[in-house]
Amino acid sequence: MLGPATAGARAGTDAAEDERTSQSRGSWLLALALSLVLVLGLSITTPAAAQEAAPNDDVAAMTLLEALDVDSFPAKGDAIDAIVHSDDPRARDWLQALLDGRLQRAGDGRFVVVLDNTGRDWPVQDALSGEPLGQMSRRELDRIGINNALRNQLRSAIAVVDLYAADVGLRRASAERLLGEVDGDLAGPLAEVIEEEPDARVRGRLVQALAIYRLEQGELEAIDDLQGSLHSRVRVALNRATNGDDPIVADAAREALNGIEQMLKVNRAAETLYFGLSLGSVLVLAAIGLAITFGVMGVINMAHGELIMLGAYTTWAMQQLLPGQPGLALILAIPAGFMVAALAGIAIERGVIQFLKGRPLETLLATFGISLILQQLVRTGISPLNRTVITPEWMSGSIAVNDALSLTLNRMYVLGFALVVFAALMLIMRRTRLGLEVRAVTQNRAMARSMGIRATRVDILTFALGSGVAGLAGVALSQLTNVGPNLGQNYIIDSFMVVVFGGVGNLWGTLVAGLSLGVINQVLEPWAGAVMAKIIVLVFIILFIQKRPRGLFPQKGRAAEG
């Protein structure tokens, strides 16, 4: 039993706990109520704010686009400027669509962008939201017309917008388009962009673009920013300045142009040298196999050009077997072209040449007949028409050294390929038993036979090697010209000239002679013409052979006799 005092104390304690419990429940309910009010308030106000903001943006954008849909071209020009300065992320797409004639207005008043304007019905999307709207007929759309002045303004405006792009390639293309297109409205913003631009190439182009505008305004200091530039638009601006009213500016522009012309001459000489080396590399590939067979066997092989043709057709055939993969086909065509031409060479040597050894005139006539037969076989079996070999993507295009000099990649690869083949042949001739035997037979066939060297085997392998290299020349030529039955005829005479000029059977002589004749041809062609250049080269070789009958690098041994 509890006493009265104890019972009273216990009752007081229970009452206090009940009071605290009720207070905590009340505070919890109050917090819950406030949370509900806050959530409800957000659910009510946030969509309202979003709905209010979105229409405001669309209203502003609609106002910009509606300003384009007027009859006055000057008013459209003002509207284009307003779009450029609006900072709207959709501005560039609108300007590009307007320039392409794809920004149009539908019958319900909406602005749309035509995605494809072929056919009767065109797929379109909303210009504001970008949502596809299905297809519309031409009658439902009203095109926003522009004139040439607005087209030029749009190109400049798009270029200015692209200057703020994150992609450096886009900024470079934009800066390139602005050369000669800067006006008073663009000069101010352009100066600010130049200060903030991190890419040196973009910054340099923008400086030149701004300097052209300043030069048009008669500023003498602008010429300092244009000196040494090889860009055609810079030269046009300087030419105009030489005819200006200010004699000081005209003299300075003339002096700057003279310096640029000297630099252009140097670049033209470098381009001529590059194309000459490229042509020479083809001559080296075409002649180096002929030099080997001619030096060892003394055979004048007039079918050598057709072996080149077989290598080129092998490349074409590989691309037919591997459609859509020109790079892989070209790589596989290198060993395939070598093998096809080498097997054809063995067949020619075993079938004809072995019976005509020591009779060069009969060999010449026989191999000439073989060349005609091979040409006719290709015409009958494949086609008399030329075939096009696709150049792989990694061999397409060019490397821009500067504004006046570009080096095409396909010729660069052919030049490198020729040097690799030459190095491989040098290794074979200097570091293998076959090379030792070939050099022995070349210098003295009778002595080599007496030392146990099988000269007949050496002749077969040598002719196969020379023919295979001719096939490699055809693989390389397929990347520079069309493949046809007469392909080899364009190089057979030049190949013989290279062999005779360099020294019969000498690989170094073939390399030097081929590259030299290629450069000489390329230098003579611009002022003498292609035919006259070849005649001059032929006369030069005849005179040279009169002075040095054994060529630049005369071969020792049997090749030097007689």
Q: Which residues contact 247 (CB under 8 A, 6 or more apart)?
A: none
- Residue 93 half-sphere exposure toward CB, CA atoms < 13 A: 15
How far, in Å, are 109, 311, 341, 432, 488 from residue 344 at the CA level?
Answer: 74, 11, 5, 24, 15
Q: Which two tokens stand for residue 284?
A: 């080296």
Question: How many helical (H) and strand (E) elements, i.e. helices and strands, does the chain have?
Answer: 20, 7
Per-residue b or e along 415-435, where b marks 16 or more CB atoms closer than 10 Å to that residue's CB? bebbeebbeebeebbeeeeeb
**Is 505 contained in some domain?**
yes
With H, G, I as helix, E, B as strand and everything else as coil, classify residue 411.
helix
For every residue of 144-164, which 3-state class applies, written as one string?
CCCCHHHHHHHHHHHHHHHCC
Distance CA 291, CA 500 (A): 9
> Which of 111, 137, 139, 138 lies closest to 125 in space, CA to CA?
111
DSSP state, 554? P
- What is the model's pLDDT at position 555? 62
> Which of 541, 535, 458 lies closest to 287 in space, CA to CA?
541
Q: Which ranges in 299-392 belong to alpha helices (H)? A: 304-321, 326-351, 360-381
Distance CA 99, CA 275 (A): 40
Contact (Cβ atoms closer than 8 angstroms) between residue 136 and residue 121: yes
With H, G, I as helix, E, B as strand and everything else as coil, classify residue 339.
helix
Contact (Cβ atoms closer than 8 angstroms) between residue 491 and residue 283: yes
- The residue behind tokens 């004048």 is 300
**Is 159 contained in some domain?**
no
- The residue behind tokens 């490198």 is 416
**Is 3 contained in some domain?**
no
**Is 464 contained in some domain?**
yes
- What is the model's pLDDT at position 404? 87
**Is 534 contained in some domain?**
yes
DSSP state, 291? H
- Report the C-alpha dihedral over residues 505, 518, 547, 504, rounded to 10 degrees: 10
Contact (Cβ atoms closer than 8 angstroms) between residue 111 and residue 105: yes
Instruction: Give just the sign of the alpha carbon dihedral 318, 319, 321, 324.
Output: positive
**Is 379 contained in some domain?**
yes
Distance CA 477, CA 309 (A): 9
Q: Is the pTM of this model over 0.85?
A: no
Domain membership of residue 519 as a residue range: 267-560
The phi and psi torsions of 387 (rounded to 5 degrees) equal: -115, 145
Q: Which residues contact 529 (CB under 8 A, 6 or more apart)?
A: none
- Residue 546 sits in a domain of what CATH number? 1.10.3470
pLDDT per residue, tens digit, the chain (562 aa), is 334 344 444 444 444 444 444 444 444 333 433 343 333 333 333 333 333 334 456 788 888 888 888 888 889 888 888 887 787 888 888 888 888 888 988 888 889 999 887 878 889 999 888 888 888 888 888 888 888 888 888 877 787 778 877 888 888 888 888 888 887 777 777 888 888 888 999 999 999 999 998 998 888 889 999 988 889 899 999 999 998 888 899 999 999 999 999 999 999 999 999 999 998 998 998 888 888 887 777 778 889 899 999 999 999 999 999 988 999 999 999 999 999 999 999 999 898 888 887 787 888 889 999 999 999 999 998 888 888 899 898 988 889 888 888 899 999 999 999 999 999 998 988 888 888 888 788 777 788 888 888 888 888 888 899 899 999 999 999 998 889 998 888 888 888 888 888 887 678 888 998 999 889 888 888 878 878 888 888 888 888 887 887 777 766 544 444 4
Residues in the chain: 562
With H, G, I as helix, E, B as strand and everything else as coil, classify residue 179.
coil
- What is the model's pLDDT at position 444? 75
Contact (Cβ atoms closer than 8 angstroms) between residue 523 and residue 534: no
Distance CA 60, CA 418 (A): 64
**Is 555 contained in some domain?**
yes
**Is 415 contained in some domain?**
yes
Distance CA 259, CA 263 (A): 7
With H, G, I as helix, E, B as strand and everything else as coil, classify residue 232.
helix
Domain count, the chain: 1
Q: Which ranges in 163-231 belong to alpha helices (H)? A: 168-177, 184-196, 200-216, 222-226
